[in-house]
Amino acid sequence: MASPSHHPARSAPPPRWERRKEARPGELLDAALDLFVERGYAATRLDDVAARAGVSKGTLYLYYTGKEDLFKAVVRRNILPLIEAFERDVAESSARSAELLERFLRQWWSSFGATRLASIAKLVVGEAGNFPELAQFFQLEIVARNAALLGSIVERGVRQHEFRPVDVGASIHLWMAPLVLRAIWMQSILPCCPVAAEVPVERMLDAHVRHVLAALEPLPALPGPRGAS
Amino acid sequence: MASPSHHPARSAPPPRWERRKEARPGELLDAALDLFVERGYAATRLDDVAARAGVSKGTLYLYYTGKEDLFKAVVRRNILPLIEAFERDVAESSARSAELLERFLRQWWSSFGATRLASIAKLVVGEAGNFPELAQFFQLEIVARNAALLGSIVERGVRQHEFRPVDVGASIHLWMAPLVLRAIWMQSILPCCPVAAEVPVERMLDAHVRHVLAALEPLPALPGPRGAS
Amino acid sequence: MASPSHHPARSAPPPRWERRKEARPGELLDAALDLFVERGYAATRLDDVAARAGVSKGTLYLYYTGKEDLFKAVVRRNILPLIEAFERDVAESSARSAELLERFLRQWWSSFGATRLASIAKLVVGEAGNFPELAQFFQLEIVARNAALLGSIVERGVRQHEFRPVDVGASIHLWMAPLVLRAIWMQSILPCCPVAAEVPVERMLDAHVRHVLAALEPLPALPGPRGAS
Amino acid sequence: MASPSHHPARSAPPPRWERRKEARPGELLDAALDLFVERGYAATRLDDVAARAGVSKGTLYLYYTGKEDLFKAVVRRNILPLIEAFERDVAESSARSAELLERFLRQWWSSFGATRLASIAKLVVGEAGNFPELAQFFQLEIVARNAALLGSIVERGVRQHEFRPVDVGASIHLWMAPLVLRAIWMQSILPCCPVAAEVPVERMLDAHVRHVLAALEPLPALPGPRGAS
DNA sequence: GATGAATGAGTCTTCATTCAT
DNA sequence: TATGAATGAAGACTCATTCAT
């Protein structure tokens, strides 16, 4: 009678399952991301992944060859689009270098660092020993590309005399590390320490941006004594 | 008596195994650290820990109540002495603030960041979800204390007009993050990417120290209105 | 229109699959025979059977109620025609008994023993414990009938004084066993031992036939001119 | 009172398990033999093996690395001693060749063919495709050695003019096959066909021995008084 | 008729933990 | 204390079977 089904007239029993070949992979990856992030690789049971995706255990194996494959797919699927979006954004922008740099950092934070995706970095780092291949993928396809992107912004700024000349290679790490580490922290330690009265993210972010821009600010061409220091 | 050996007076038959109640815990912790660092928490088998420590599996349970307990002991035992040493060093030092700060950063790197101990941070971060209590301990007893230490150096420098006034809370994170992240990276991703031609650690470290000190350098007294900012 | 289909009048859209109700069972049985023979009952997956027959897994269930049913059908379908052919051959023959017997043995070898069908015997023997009903069928419809056939030849020979009187029941087993066992061997052990330099089949077969005929050769009629033969 | 326990006075609870390192492997192999023989390799669950051996599933893995290893151990352990016993018997015997041959055949039957061990041959034959290595072992260490043994008896008899010259290679197979096949049959098909009124084993065995000895009997020394025998 | 996505019971295997010795 | 044999709960993975399309 009050059947939740969609056949109001007929009292057809609701189908035990639906055929949704297209949607399944995405649902499985979403479920897996949640659980991997929450519990880590080893502590995540495929039963739970399947249950959260609303399918049975066997179905999972129709789409992924096993736990490892699922894990790799989760990482690839969630991370790659992001880096590609970043690359598009930078390529299309024609703003001043300082502005572009600030926007990059803030966008990185809002679309990755502040999200659940940051946990993926944590996962990859934690499981690198057990998934060297995945670690390589991550280093080459994500970290290196992100660094190249940031590097290209800085180099452009330097070339156009918007930034002072710097050791780009070393600087990139210095500019990214505070964001990356804070992101990881917020996904792992922080949820366990509700009282950890940390400096708010915004303040950290502002300070970081200011700090980076200051470090890149062109030296005053003045006659000033500061050049001597 | 003082003999480390085996009851010379009593004509006891040589025991099949030795009683080494004092030495055991350390040996077990060392073995466990190796394996936890290498494989992560879940992938480390107690059998292997015991084997590496040269004892049987059962013996392990005489000293630790289980895997969790062992894990926590590994973290506590290896990390606490370090932070305490840092605190002593800083307390005893009377050097100029800039010098002290540089020494702190370089020592942090050489005695923690560049060592296997850095993996512990990786471990704790990765397992925080499964060991909240451990994460709290880590945050409060290690991270916070380290931050306080660094903060005290900076504050002293500011108070003595050796450093310019800064947002200490936000700055600390910015000063530590590049080192922490690089340390973690070297323990996880890097071993899997032998060709990753990164900027050498020394250059990164030099750049970072220079950068930190520049950011803290007192502003020129000058006539400048900039002091108002 | 120009559809290869079989409904010329109707402008039916070309079907995505063909209806081949008549051909399917045979194709499935052939595929199943291959795989059962190659891997045994349990290690054969219905997926593979269907794939080899060029249909989907579901289709298999339109023709057989399950794996067991398929297995039984494979055995029945492949073995029964053989024994029936043997029976026809013997019934129609009017050759001398010795000649008929030799022909029977050689034909048995060439049309069963030397072929993939011999593996069916191996299968039934191996799975008898799990398929008692099938074992009974095999014993009654194949083994016993084959024995009866051979027995009838021998008995006829004895009746017509072409063979010496023998214990027919016991003899039949002696005459068949070397062929059966060799056949099974060639389907199971031999493929794994490429170097097993066995006596060639032909020599074995010749020796066996000679041996059987010698054992059945009528005793010399006393005074003994038969020594000359 | 009549407690089977060994602590009559104390009401100590019976230990949940005993440490019986020496006995376990044998008990496990016995249990496994039973079940493999009864159900075949694939249909035997390790749970059942362990239960029949009176241990838990995990214990099985202390002694064998898995199902395959257990299977191989069952075969090796049960079959090798037999063939070695046969070899000893023949080596030590000094009987006449005919007598030795008959004894060999009868002993083979009673100590292997008529026992549960014959099922091992069935198993190996059935699983050869899935365990090629085991099949090789069986062929080389069991079948070939048994054939060599029988061959040596026949050759000795021929050399000493107790037997007529024969094609030893071909003959061996002819002499063994009826016994081997009957043995396999009795372990697989027969238990499923209680009414299969077969020729009794003894009669088959007698007929076979008679038949073999007749085929080997030296040819009459020409002039032929042998017709009288 | 035909398909193949979905199911879920069944099995092997691992490993933290216990306890008789 | 120390040992390591024994346990058993847990989880990855398979595959015969079902059923919505």
Q: Could you give the CA distance from residue D92 to residue C142 in angstroms, rounded to a whole number?
A: 44
C62 Cβ contacts chain E strand, under 7 Å: yes
Averaged over C64-71, what is the pLDDT? Answer: 96
Q: In terms of Cα–Cα distance, which of D67, D46, D174, D193 is closest to C125?
A: D193
Looking at the fold, whether C132 and C198 belong to one and the same domain comes out as: yes
Q: Decide if pLDDT at B14 tops 90.
A: no
Question: Integer distance in angstroms from CA C124 to C1' F6?
Answer: 39
**Sequence-distant (≥ 6) Cβ neighbours of residue B5 within 8 angstroms:** none
Looking at the fold, whether C54 and C166 belong to one and the same domain comes out as: no
Q: Could you give the CA distance from residue B20 to residue B13 in angstroms, rounded to a whole number?
A: 17
Averaged over B29-56, what is the pLDDT? Answer: 96
Bases of chain E below 7 A from a protein C-beta are 1-21
Chain D nearest-CA distance from C73, in A, is: 18
Backbone dihedral angles phi then psi of residue A17, each to the nearest 5 degrees: -155, 160
Q: Is B2 a member of any domain?
A: no
Which domain range does residue B38 map to?
A: 17-64
CB–CB contact A174 B208 (8 Å): yes
Averaged over A183-191, what is the pLDDT? Answer: 93
Looking at the fold, whether D114 and D197 belong to one and the same domain comes out as: yes
Question: Which region among A103-107, B9-13, B72-76, B140-144 has the lowest average model confidence (pLDDT)?
Answer: B9-13
Structure tokens at D43: 């249909």
Q: Is B69 a member of any domain?
A: no
Q: Is B183 a member of any domain?
A: yes
* Final residue before a domain boundary, out of C64, C88, C123: C64
Total number of domains constituting chain C: 2
Structure tokens at A130: 């057990």
CB atoms within 10 A of CB D166: 18
Looking at the fold, whether D51 and D106 belong to one and the same domain comes out as: no
pLDDT-derived band at D229 (thresholds 50, 70, 90) equals: very low
CB atoms within 10 A of CB B128: 26
pLDDT-derived band at B24 (thresholds 50, 70, 90) equals: confident
Q: Decide if pLDDT at A226 tops 60.
A: no
Q: Decide if pLDDT at A75 tops 80.
A: yes
Query: B97 with B153: CB under 8 angstroms?
Result: yes
Distance, C-alpha B36 to centroid of its chain = 15
Q: B229 versus B111: which is more confidently predicted?
A: B111
Q: Is D25 a member of any domain?
A: yes
Question: Which region among A1-15, A142-156, B35-49, D152-166 has the lowest average model confidence (pLDDT)?
Answer: A1-15
Q: Is C223 a member of any domain?
A: no
Q: Residue A228: its pLDDT value, please?
A: 45
Looking at the fold, whether B98 and B204 belong to one and the same domain comes out as: yes
Instruction: Enumerate the residues of chain D whose CB falls inside 8 A of the CB of residue C43.
Output: 42, 129-130
pLDDT-derived band at A16 (thresholds 50, 70, 90) equals: confident
Q: Could you give the CA distance from residue C65 to residue C61 in angstroms, rounded to a whole number?
A: 6
Q: pLDDT tens, D34-54? A: 999 999 999 999 999 999 999
Q: CA B113, B118, B120 angle in degrees (round to 5)?
A: 160
Average pLDDT, chain A: 89
Looking at the fold, whether D151 and D181 belong to one and the same domain comes out as: yes
Averaged over D120-128, what is the pLDDT? Answer: 92
Q: pLDDT tens, A93-102? A: 889 999 999 9
Q: Is A166 a member of any domain?
A: yes
Structure tokens at D11: 């009401």
Of A43, A128, A196, the CB nearest to B42: A43
A173 Cβ contacts chain E strand, under 7 Å: no
Looking at the fold, whether B102 and B212 belong to one and the same domain comes out as: yes
Q: Decide if pLDDT at A199 tops 90.
A: no
**Sequence-distant (≥ 6) Cβ neighbours of residue B126 within 8 angstroms:** A40, A122, A123, A125, A126, A127, A188, B40, B41
CA distances from D189 to A62, A82, A219, D124 (A): 40, 66, 97, 16
Q: Could you give the CA distance from residue D133 to residue D131 in angstroms, rounded to a whole number?
A: 5
Q: Residue A8: its pLDDT value, please?
A: 46
Q: Residue C193: its pLDDT value, please?
A: 86
CA distances from D184 to B12, C121, D37 (A): 61, 12, 11
Looking at the fold, whether D92 and D199 belong to one and the same domain comes out as: yes
Q: Residue B1: its pLDDT value, please?
A: 38
Looking at the fold, whether B51 and B153 belong to one and the same domain comes out as: no
Q: Decide if pLDDT at C197 tops 70.
A: no
CB–CB contact B173 A139 (8 Å): no
Looking at the fold, whether C87 and C176 belong to one and the same domain comes out as: yes
Chain B: partners with 3+ C-beta pairs within 8 Å: A
- The alpha-carbon radius of gyration of chain C (Å, integer) is 23
What type of residue is C86? F
CB–CB contact D122 C126 (8 Å): yes
What type of residue is A102? E
Instruction: Provide the CATH number for the domain around residue A200.
Output: 1.10.357
**Sequence-distant (≥ 6) Cβ neighbours of residue D87 within 8 angstroms:** D145, D149
Q: Is D52 a member of any domain?
A: yes
Q: Decide if pLDDT at C3 tops 50.
A: no
Q: Residue B18: its pLDDT value, please?
A: 58
Q: Decide if pLDDT at C215 tops 50.
A: yes
Q: Decide if pLDDT at B222 tops 80.
A: no
DSSP letter string, B101-152: HHHHHHHHIIIIITSTTHHHHHHHHHHTTT-HHHHHHIIIIIIHHHHHHHHH
What type of residue is D42? A
Backbone dihedral angles phi then psi of residue D220, each to the nearest 5 degrees: -60, 145
Query: D127 with D134: CB under 8 angstroms?
Result: yes
Q: CA D139, D141, D143 angle in degrees (round to 5)?
A: 45
**Sequence-distant (≥ 6) Cβ neighbours of residue C32 within 8 angstroms:** C44, C49, C53, C70, C71, C73, C74
* pLDDT-above-70 percentage for chain D: 89
Q: pLDDT tens, D155-209? A: 999 999 999 999 999 999 999 999 999 999 999 999 998 766 678 999 999 999 9
What type of residue is B135? A
pLDDT-derived band at C23 (thresholds 50, 70, 90) equals: confident
Average pLDDT, chain C: 87
Q: Decide if pLDDT at C18 tops 80.
A: no
Distance, C-alpha D229 to centroid of its chain = 37
Exposure on the CB side of residue B57, measured as CA atoms within 13 A: 5
Q: Could you give the CA distance from residue A214 to residue A217 in angstroms, rounded to a whole number?
A: 5
pLDDT-derived band at D98 (thresholds 50, 70, 90) equals: very high
Q: Is A9 a member of any domain?
A: no
Sign of CA pseudo-dihedral B194, B198, B203, B204: negative
Q: Could you give the CA distance from residue C83 to residue C107 in angstroms, rounded to a whole number?
A: 11
H or E segment and range at residue C24: helix C24-39
Q: Residue D3: its pLDDT value, please?
A: 43
Looking at the fold, whether D55 and D80 belong to one and the same domain comes out as: no
Instruction: Provide the CATH number for the domain around residue C25.
Output: 1.10.10.60
Structure tokens at A174: 């210095």
Q: pLDDT tens, C50-60? A: 999 999 999 99
Of D129, D199, D211, the CB nearest to C38: D129
Q: pLDDT tens, A53-64? A: 999 999 999 999
Looking at the fold, whether C153 and C54 belong to one and the same domain comes out as: no
Averaged over C118-124, what is the pLDDT? Answer: 93
3-state secondary structure of C56: coil
Q: B59 versus D197: which is more confidently predicted?
A: B59
Q: Residue A225: its pLDDT value, please?
A: 52
